[in-house]
Amino acid sequence: MAAITRKLGPKSGDNVRIEIDLTELFGDELLDRQSVRQSLAQEVIDAIVKKAENFGGKYSDEYSESAEFRAFGKSKSDVNLTLSGQMLSALDVISDNRDKIVIGWEQGSEDGKKAHGNITGKNGQVKTKRDFFKLTESELKAIARQYRDDLTGEERPEGRTVQDILDAINRGARLF
Amino acid sequence: MAKVNVKVNFVEKYFPAIAKVAADDLTKKAAEVGERLIKGKTRSGNQLVDGNSIRKQPALSPAWVETRSKLASTNETHAAFSPRRSNLTFTGQLIDALTSKRMTSGRIGIQFFVNASQRAAYNRPDGRGRMSSAGLPNNQQLAGYLADQGREFVGLDQKSRTQINNELTRILRRRLKVLLK
């Protein structure tokens, strides 16, 4: 079994997700600490965003001459899947529990649809496919290795801050 | 004069422990993303009214479109300029004057505002040198005048706020790794 599985629904915006099987990744040790799961998930998100931002290649003439393209000062010769940055910023931790972490876009969201379109080339309707939403098994294991000693147990004495952060994340708090 | 700045406080009220450890990172990121979004979305022709949905800037009058076309023949225009595009952009100096600073009132927050930098006078459309700079409003005064005319741009629409919030949440998650060790 793979520790990382990508789910991509057939329709635009459908189920654009990556599932990380924690049992597969860490064996029988259960990942009790949500702080560790959230931290690991963020590293996975950061790795995927980095792939997107460094995707490379050229934008079409039509797009690079558009008002929005110029407004955001983008470069024609540097495909980075970022105009305002909204799509990549919406890549989030959908859920996390002792067995599994799910990362992706909210089902049916505008940004999920954009991501789906880029990954699949609008389901084959356009030639350009920009499949940035992936991580290899070995890339995931390299990230996970750093957390092997932190899987279980109590939060550290700095727990108040950790708990505040988890509360903010779990409650979907508006930080801004 | 209409509002040309927006102040945003965050986190310390509900999460003092977070504010203590991550205020610098949070304010820096909010400033960076906020400035980029306000500038890019405005130059795309949008009006950012704080806290609301985004909407298009009012259309330009035919007379002003003609003036912009004439001025463009003798002035260096911004890449996002087009005579008909209502995006508060000709040379780009007004939107470039949008900046931000961390609030100093004891709160943790950011203020976005248009600074009072002096505007460069345009070259005359007939090619005979520059127009007079006497009485030329600075960028802050011009932003206020435009806002009074219904052309606001210093604001963060709902989507921008959500985007900044997402970025700040990521900072907090990254902070967890440091706290684990």
For residue B102, list its beta bridge partners.
B110
Residues of A with CB under 8 A from a CB of B: 33, 35-36, 38-39, 41-43, 45-46, 67-68, 70-73, 83-86, 89-90, 92-93, 147, 150, 156, 158, 160-162, 164-165, 167-169, 173-176
Find tokens 């988890």 and name the residue: A166
CA–CA distance, A74 with A71 (Å, rounded to integer):
8
pLDDT in tens, B123-161: 999 989 999 989 999 999 999 999 999 898 888 888 998
Q: A93: distance to nearest CA of chain B, Å?
A: 10
Q: Is A88 helix (H, G, I), strand (E, B) or coil?
A: helix
CA distance to A54, A92, B88, per residue, from A88 (Å): 13, 9, 27
Nearest to residue A38, comparing CAs of B20, B169, B27?
B169
pLDDT in tens, A35-85: 999 999 999 999 999 999 999 999 999 999 999 999 999 999 999 999 999
Beta carbons of A71 and B44 less than 8 angstroms apart: yes
CA–CA distance, A176 with B105 (Å, rounded to integer):
17
Is the pLDDT at B117 greater than 50? The verdict is: yes
CA–CA distance, A97 with A19 (Å, rounded to integer):
11
Q: Is the dihedral of CA B104, B105, B108, B112 positive or negative?
A: negative
Q: Do A175 and B8 touch (CB under 8 A)?
A: no
Residues of A in contact with B10 (CB under 8 A): 175-176
**pLDDT band, very low/low/confident/very high, at B1 (cuts 50, 70, 90):** very low
**What is the number of CB-based contacts under 8 A between chain A and chain B?**
126
Find tokens 């797009």 and name the residue: A63
Is the pLDDT at B2 greater than 50? The verdict is: no
Give the orientation angle of helix A159-170 with respect to helix B16-43, to 10 degrees.
40
pLDDT in tens, A72-122: 999 999 999 999 999 999 999 999 999 999 999 999 999 999 999 999 998
**pLDDT band, very low/low/confident/very high, at A165 (cuts 50, 70, 90):** confident
Is the pLDDT at A170 greater than 80? The verdict is: yes
Nearest to B17 among A83, A84, A160 (CB): A160
* Least confident residue range of A125-134, B15-24, B39-48: B15-24
Beta carbons of B137 and B160 less than 8 angstroms apart: no
Residue B105, phi then psi, degrees to nearest 5 = -85, 15
Give the orientation angle of helix A137-145 with respect to helix A34-53, to 10 degrees.
140
CA–CA distance, B121 with A168 (Å, rounded to integer):
49
pLDDT in tens, A14-35: 789 999 999 999 887 777 889 9
Residues of B in contact with A42 (CB under 8 A): 170, 173-174, 176-177
pLDDT in tens, B34-89: 999 999 999 999 998 777 788 999 999 999 999 999 999 999 999 999 999 999 99
pLDDT of residue B21: 76
pLDDT of residue A62: 92
pLDDT of residue B9: 65
Q: How many residues does chain B have?
A: 181
Q: Do B176 and A68 touch (CB under 8 A)?
A: no
Q: Is B58 helix (H, G, I), strand (E, B) or coil?
A: coil
Residues of B in contact with A161 (CB under 8 A): 17-18, 20-21, 175, 179
HSE (side-chain half, CA atoms, 13 Å) at A17: 19
